[in-house]
Amino acid sequence: MLRFALTLLLFTLAFGVLSSSPVFSDLILAKVDRRIDLTSQIVRITTSLKVENAGSNPISEILLSFPENQAKHLAYLTATLNEGKGKGKASSGAGLPTEVVIPKDVPDSLTFYSVSLHKGLGKGESLLLDVLAVFTHALEPFPEKISQADIQLLLFQDTAHFLSPYKVMVQSVAVKLPEARVESYTKLEGTKLSGSELKYSPFHNIPPFSYLPIIIHFENNQPFAVAEELVREIEISHWGNVQVTEHYNLFHGGAKNKGEFSRLDYQARPYVRGASAFRRLVARLPPRAHSVYYRDEIGNISTSSLWGDSKKTELEIEPRYPLFGGWRTAFTIGYGLPLRDFLFESDGKRFLNFSFGSPINELVIDTLIVKVVLPEGSKDISASVPFPVKQWQETKFSHLDLVGRPVVVLEKNNVVPEHNEHFQVYYKFNSLSMLREPLMLIFGFFFLFVACIVYMHADLSISKSSASYLAKVQWEEVQATVQQIHNIISHCLTAHDKLEASLRDLSRTGDVQACKATRKSVDSLLKGVSKDLKPLVTFLQSSPQAAHILPKVEELIAKERDLQERLMAKHTTVVDCYEKKLGGREIENRIASNQQKITSLRQEVDDLMEFIDEI
Amino acid sequence: MAASDAPNGDVLIRNAFGSVLAFLILLLIGVLAFSIRLFSVIKYESVIHEFDPYFNYRVTQFLTKNGIYDFWNWFDDRTWYPLGRVIGGTVYPGLTLTAGTLYWFLHSLNIPLSVETVCVFTAPIFSAFASWATYLLTKEIKGVGAGLTAAALLAMVPSYISRSVAGSYDNEAVAIFALIFTFYLYIKTLNTGSLFYATLNSLSYFYMVCSWGGYTFIINLIPMHVLLCIVTGRYSSRLYIAYAPLVILGTLLAALVPVVGFNAVMTSEHFASFLVFIIIHVVALVYYIKGILSPKMFKVALALVVSIGLAVCCAMVAVIIALVASSPTKGWSGRSLSLLDPTYASKYIPIIASVSEHQPPTWPSYFMDINVLAFLIPAGIIACFSPLSDASLFAVLYIVLSVYFSGVMVRLMLVLAPAACILSGIALSQAFDVFTRSIKFQLPSLSDHSHIDARDASSENVVLDDTIKTDKNEDTPKERMTKRSKKKEKEPVEKPPTKFQIKKRLSVLPFEASIIAVILLVLLVAFYVVHCVWAAAEAYSAPSIVLTSHSNDGLHVFDDFREAYAWLSHNTDVDDKVASWWDYGYQTTAMANRTVIVDNNTWNNTHIATVGTAMSSPEKAAWEIFHSLDVKYVLVVFGGLVGYPSDDINKFLWMVRIGGGVFPHIKEPDYLRDGQYRIDSMATPTMLNCLMYKLSYYRFVETDGKAFDRVRRTEIGKKYFKLTHFEEVFTTHHWMVRIYKLKPPKNRIRGKNKKSKSKTSSTTTSKRKGTRRNPF
């Protein structure tokens, strides 16, 4: 299958070489150095080109070409002018703009990128160009399925000749491998393998579009963590927090596990039995990250550790289980960041300056969606990203929102750590809008309480003439009346107490007149009381609701009256006795029978009072 | 009468102050009830606990995603493969609908809480509601003081905490609230005779029926109370209003709940209510006739009616008995039968007996679950008898019945808890009442002066009175003691209480005794609080899917279950079937989202027995059973490496029993050596060759060389063996969950096929017999 594809490719390339047009031949690549880095799952090819203009016209763009099988894996491409003499040490900083072009008369299976130079390259001039191309999924595991104990072997194919529309004078290739162990590699003239570095000796005078396939089959046990989809949500709160939530959908992109997994073997000899698996990932979060969490849909994952200093916060996370080839997992990490580190203001607009890619080291992301949730009420939103992304806007409803928060969504495929550049989202926001939600809450509760007060004070009966409503009103009246009666009786009882007190005073002072005066006043008081009682009792009698209370009330009044009379009688007797100067024992004897009745009556009245009070 | 207004206003202010205070106390009780249940979130995490809650969580997720109509019609094909389960018709929807409503409400306010968060906190919220309902109920029985005490007790009773910690998202969480609230409305109706409350009562009963199968407790307890009231001559029209609408409306509403349906009129659990319904009508008729007839005529009529009535009753009883007798279980479901006859389940239904919460409780569990309340209950019962009202009679009946039921099943301790709290609340409140009053009486100088000062401005004549009395009281207490009779001495002392409506007839205890008693009571309650907080923090907050242990080098977390479920959910095909013992069915469907063969619903005994048989069969036979069920993965829980005691080997005997109950070739004695269950070298060969043993101990010997099982504390019997029909695909970090994959069937070679067929003919036929019963 693989071989077949290669031969096909060769055929097409050969065809391409034959039909190459002279358009490109003005430029000559005097020297090409290619360094291919295969140490991780991401293939990085650094090419330094010495370009010379052999033609007469100044040239302002240089074409870079990639075969189809590489172009579809190409994640990142930059070209920088190297002005210093040192070997690629002093790049001129900003990369040159690159874009896909489809020139005429070139083979279809090639994809061209054009690098625009700032100033044209005049006749006979030359420049040094550093090109970094990063590829994902360019390494094919072979064999595709391995068992737990096997090591992971990978296949990498490229061309030994630099594939270019221009003529190349001198070219060399150096391949850096992760480990010294190489299963096989295409041997060409002068190929050298020293340690973990494979070198193809310089080639001279390569015609344009020449392709010399090389295949390297080597061991690589680096973690092949691939995020199928990563959704980063960056939520800005002007109360001082940026909340980042990242949903990962991760799998091991290396050679698939054959099925059997023995924990015993893995625990006993983790580096032999399970070399290709990885169990931890390290994320470098911005400094001062707080409230970090790591969980998945079924709860917190307890295997993680966090440490940090003033420059960074490092979060080491372990998925629930070690990831073998082809195994998947999904999890979420979230953290808060101080707003002042990321939000700035420039000419009336605020802007968020945040890194685009994932904080996890050496992670390949197939689809990255970055959502920036701006506070409710933001206007004039625009985003600037250093590389092309798909961009659109959404609305998100969160805590107590009325119109929703604007969300800027950026989507990009094939993201590598090189994409961890800062992007900006500009927007306008009025600080007063911050107070909207607290005020809403305050008013919400205020109206709730007002509603409660209104409800408690308003009569909300639907029908004022319905039987139950009338009954309720009547019942309330009855209750009020009974309460009044209760008060009056308790008043009487205090009057009784007064009488008794006067008797005691008498026994102490012997002041008969004072005692008599008290009796008179009490008597008149009680008379008045009984007058007050009458209308109340008649009301109760007329009211049907009071039917079951009435007997008790009547009993109470009768008892009270009885008590009153007896007390009066007792009082008179005692006073008389004092007037007649009878002895204490004599007095006791005279009032003894009365006293007993009074006590029992008082008891009963109290009971009744209590009963009525409970109504 | 200006003077009468002043005390009236005073009383009003006092009442207002009192109700504000009571409101605040209730609010704090609610906060307490909520926050004491958050230990699990703080100590562990906000996660759904245990087994059944995972099912409820999954149903709630479905409800919030697909809406109510899809929920009613939900046929779940991810469980009980290949039978499936009609979730909408077999689940008590109350809890799910409650949480769903909560979720919708929050989302309509744009508060984006996840379904999980809502589910986790449903139980604490409803326990706050339950303590408020307890307040209302106890207030109806014995007044505000008892109500507040009972509410505070219920807010932290360990028995209820065990079922309602944050994350314990189970039916009981809302059902206890519904239970108490239904009782409250019943008592409220009984006390007021209002049809409004009677209707509310039916609705509350409806909510209870929606929430929990324990509603049968209500529909039996209330008729019993009604009957008791009638027998003790407490019949009143209020009783009629409280009961008759409940039966009619309640039964109609209950029949609307799909899981109950016609059971509301067909099963014996409900018959008591209908019988009492008839009786109450007869009694109402008798009272009515008594009202319109003269006593003489009434006697004649009584004789007539009784003779006819008896005949009719006999006929009806005969019909009912005939109906009941015609149904196989005598009309009672297994669980209810095991309530009446505690030995029923262990005799006939191993699947009910195998659940630990269906076992009778031990004495220590009473102390653990209701603590000092157990000692306060008798005092509460006594307090209920003085004086006895309809409401306090209800409280007494409630406690008596729930004590009986809790003695049958540990699970029903939950029903006992509110009753215990109510009665203890009454007891405590009354005791405090007595003691504090005694203290107050005997601190006259203190109390009276303060009273005077307080009322100085309000009414002058009262003040005058009081000062005179107190003056006298202080000046010459001894003198008058000798001079006057004791009664006279008592009177002035009792005067201020008259105004404050404090009962004075009750005897006054000695001052020192009261002080000591109050201190002891406070100590008792303090002990209760300490115990409750301990129970909430230590005993009942473990989510049981995450285990922790403290060792020298700190906290160790065992998160193996979720590790396994996460692995299943991400690394197996979405339609793969996973076989495990039924305990893990709900968790597998909810967390791993894979189809399971059996789950905790246990509605199909044969199906469970099939899995049990497979687990207790030798490898090949088991493979065939699993293969016929389309099973791709087998999951076993193994605690031997880390000492996790509730693993599958310890549950294995139940698998044998349940399997053997349907497939007789599985015999329990085959797995026991001299009646003893063992897995060491003395174990029987059947035991050592069964699938469960093999899957649990596969390559276990290679861990330490001796294969020492830390749960059984012994070396295992058979150490070196290979699996021929299964392969290990995943084992968690601490070996607690092991997942095996069925190897694909071998290519058929004629001779070999024949040989194996003849070899396993006996098992195949028996398996056929089992499978033929199922429609697959």
Q: Three-state SS across A424-487?
A: EEEEECCHHHHHHHHHHHHHHHHHHHHHHHHHHHCCCCCCCCCHHHHHHHHHHHHHHHHHHHHH
Contacts of A320 in chain B (CB under 8 A): 559, 562-563, 566-567
Q: Do B503 and A610 lie within an 8 Å CB cutoff? A: yes
The CA distance from B714 to B720, in Å, is 16
Q: Do A491 and B504 lie within an 8 Å CB cutoff? A: no
Fold of A467-614: Substrate Binding Domain Of Dnak; Chain:A; Domain 2 (1.20.1270)
| Residue in chain A nearest B485 by alpha carbon | A588
For A583, the token pair is 């002895």
Contacts of B46 in chain A (CB under 8 A): 299
User: How far from the centroid of its chain's Cα atoms is residue B580's Cα?
Assistant: 27
Can you give the pLDDT at residue B35? 93
The CA distance from A537 to A560, in Å, is 14
Can you give the pLDDT at residue B484? 38
Q: Of B110, B591, B702, which has the smallest distance from its Cβ to A399's Cβ? A: B110
- Tell whether B504 is within 8 A of chain A (Cβ): yes
The CA distance from A471 to B193, in Å, is 13
Fold of A225-434: Immunoglobulin-like (2.60.40)
Q: Do B469 and A501 lie within an 8 Å CB cutoff? A: yes
Can you give the pLDDT at residue B146? 92
Task: Give exposure, A354-373, as e/b (b: 16+ Cβ within 10 Å).
Answer: bbbbbbbebbbbbebbbbbb
Structural contact between residues A227 and A238, judged by C-beta atoms closer than 8 angstroms: no
Largest alpha-carbon pair distance within chain A? 156
Domain A27-83+95-219 class in CATH: mainly beta
Q: A14 or B130: which carries more pLDDT confidence? A: B130
Q: Is the peptide bond before B258 cis (omega within 30 degrees of 0)?
A: no
Testing the interface with A: which of B199, B733, B734 to mutate, by most A Cβ within 10 A? B733
The CA distance from A300 to B44, in Å, is 9
Strand partners, B618: B690
The CA distance from B428 to B379, in Å, is 8
Q: Of A300, A320, A507, which has the smallest distance from its Cβ to B566's Cβ? A: A320
The CA distance from B224 to B159, in Å, is 25
Can you give the pLDDT at residue A484? 83
- Tell whether B544 is within 8 A of chain A (Cβ): no
Q: Distance of CA A506 to CAs A574, A615, B613, B747, Å?
A: 9, 39, 100, 122
Task: Give exposure, B257-284, as e/b (b: 16+ Cβ within 10 Å).
Answer: beebeeebeebbbbbbbebbbebbeebb
Q: Which A residues, 281 through 320, put their C-beta within 8 Å of a C-beta on chain B?
A: 296, 298-303, 320
Q: Do A400 and B111 lie within an 8 Å CB cutoff? A: yes
Mean predicted confidence (pLDDT) in A148-157? 85
Q: Which B residues, 673 through 712, put their C-beta within 8 Å of a C-beta on chain A?
A: 699, 702-703
pTM reported for the whole predicted model: 0.81
The CA distance from A344 to A236, in Å, is 12
Q: Which A residues, 456 through 495, put their C-beta within 8 Å of a C-beta on chain B?
A: 483-484, 487-488, 490-491, 493-494
For A517, the token pair is 């005066």
- φ/ψ of A401, rounded to 5, equals -80, 150
| Residue in chain B nearest A325 by alpha carbon | B571
Q: Which B residues, 40 through 59, put their C-beta within 8 Å of a C-beta on chain A?
A: 45-47
- Tell whether A437 is within 8 A of chain B (Cβ): no
Confidence label for A491 from pLDDT (cuts 50, 70 and 90): confident
- Tell whether B245 is within 8 A of chain A (Cβ): no
Strand partners, B77: none
Q: Of B8, B571, B732, which has the smallest distance from its Cβ to A328's Cβ? A: B571
Q: Do B546 and A299 lie within an 8 Å CB cutoff? A: yes
- Tell whether A397 is within 8 A of chain B (Cβ): yes
Pick the range with the lowest mean pLDDT from A78-87, A135-144, A581-590, B202-211. Answer: A78-87
| Residue in chain B nearest A609 by alpha carbon | B501
At residue A427, does pLDDT exceed 80? yes
- φ/ψ of B709, rounded to 5, equals -85, 120
Q: Is this complex scored with an ipTM above 0.90? A: no
Q: A556 or B617: which carries more pLDDT confidence? A: B617
Structural contact between residues B254 and B220, judged by C-beta atoms closer than 8 angstroms: no
Give A295's DSSP letter.
E
Instruction: Please name the helix (run of DSSP H) or strand (run of DSSP E) that holds residue B520, with its range, or none.
Output: helix B511-534
The CA distance from B753 to B743, in Å, is 16
The CA distance from B608 to B473, in Å, is 81
Q: One fold for both A225-434 and A467-614?
A: no
Q: Tell me: the pLDDT tens digits for A165-208?
A: 888 888 888 888 887 788 888 888 778 888 788 888 788 888 88
Contacts of A490 in chain B (CB under 8 A): 498-499
Q: Of A261, A320, A500, which has the smallest distance from its Cβ to B728's Cβ? A: A261
The segments of chain B whose pLDDT lies below 50 read 1-6, 445-506, 753-776
For A52, the token pair is 């010379």
Contacts of A326 in chain B (CB under 8 A): 571
Single out the residue of B376, B387, B364 nearest to residue B420, CA to CA.
Answer: B376
Single out the residue of B386, B437, B429 nearest to residue B134, CA to CA.
Answer: B429
Q: Do B110 and A268 lie within an 8 Å CB cutoff? A: no
The CA distance from B119 to B582, in Å, is 23
Coil, strand or helix at B512: helix
Angle, helices A584-614 vs A467-509, to 10°: value is: 160
User: To the nearest 5 percent, what fractions of chain A are helix, strand and coil?
Assistant: 35, 35, 30
Strands (E), B552-692: 554-558, 577-579, 595-596, 631-637, 672-673, 676-677
| Residue in chain B nearest A605 by alpha carbon | B498
Contacts of A261 in chain B (CB under 8 A): 728-731
- φ/ψ of B541, rounded to 5, equals -100, 0
Q: Of B3, B501, B591, which has the smallest distance from its Cβ to A491's Cβ? A: B3
Q: Do A501 and B465 lie within an 8 Å CB cutoff? A: yes
Q: Of B110, B566, B571, which has the smallest distance from its Cβ to A296's Cβ? A: B566
Confidence label for A3 from pLDDT (cuts 50, 70 and 90): very low
Q: Do B8 and A487 lie within an 8 Å CB cutoff? A: yes
Contacts of B47 in chain A (CB under 8 A): 298-300
Can you give the pLDDT at residue B249? 93
* Torsion B535-B536-B537-B541 (CA) sign: positive
- Tell whether B275 is within 8 A of chain A (Cβ): no
Q: Do A400 and B462 lie within an 8 Å CB cutoff? A: no
For A276, the token pair is 């290709």
B208-B212-B217-B220 Cα dihedral, nearest 10 degrees:
60
- φ/ψ of A382, rounded to 5, equals -145, 150
Å between B290 CA and nearest CA of chain A:
19
Q: Do A327 and B570 lie within an 8 Å CB cutoff? A: yes
Q: Tell me: the pLDDT tens digits for B229-243?
A: 999 888 888 899 999
Q: Distance of CA A336 to CAs A305, A339, A342, A343, A499, Å?
A: 16, 9, 12, 14, 80
- Tell whether A534 is within 8 A of chain B (Cβ): no
CB pairs under 8 A between A and B: 111
The CA distance from B772 to B766, in Å, is 10
Q: A415 or A589: which carries more pLDDT confidence? A: A415
Q: Do B110 and A401 lie within an 8 Å CB cutoff? A: yes
Q: Do B730 and A321 lie within an 8 Å CB cutoff? A: yes
Strand partners, A251: A226, A328
The CA distance from A519 to A32, in Å, is 131
Residue with tokens 């020298």: B552
Q: Of B4, B469, B591, which has the smallest distance from its Cβ to A487's Cβ? A: B4
| Residue in chain A nearest B701 by alpha carbon | A264
Q: End-to-end CA distance of chain B, in Å?
A: 89
Residue with tokens 């109760």: A540
Contacts of A329 in chain B (CB under 8 A): 566, 570
Amino acid (one-letter) located at A298: I
Q: Of B499, B699, B733, which has the smallest distance from its Cβ to A262's Cβ? A: B699
Amino acid (one-letter) located at A405: R
B473-B476-B477-B480 Cα dihedral, nearest 10 degrees:
-110
Q: Distance of CA B558 to CAs A4, A331, B121, B643, B735, Å?
A: 51, 19, 24, 11, 10
Q: End-to-end CA distance of chain A, in Å?
A: 96
Å between B743 CA and nearest CA of chain A:
11
- Tell whether B728 is within 8 A of chain A (Cβ): yes
DSSP secondary structure of A344-379: EEETTEEEEEEE-S-SBTT-EEEEEEEEEEPPTT-E
Contacts of A600 in chain B (CB under 8 A): none
Mean predicted confidence (pLDDT) in A38-66? 84
Q: Is the peptide bond before B387 cis (omega within 30 degrees of 0)?
A: yes
Testing the interface with B: which of A320, A460, A527 to mutate, by most B Cβ within 10 A? A320
Q: Tell me: the pLDDT tens digits for A325-375?
A: 888 999 999 999 999 889 898 888 889 999 998 888 888 999 999 999 998
Structural contact between residues B146 and B425, judged by C-beta atoms closer than 8 angstroms: yes
| Domain extent listing, chain A | 27-83+95-219, 225-434, 467-614
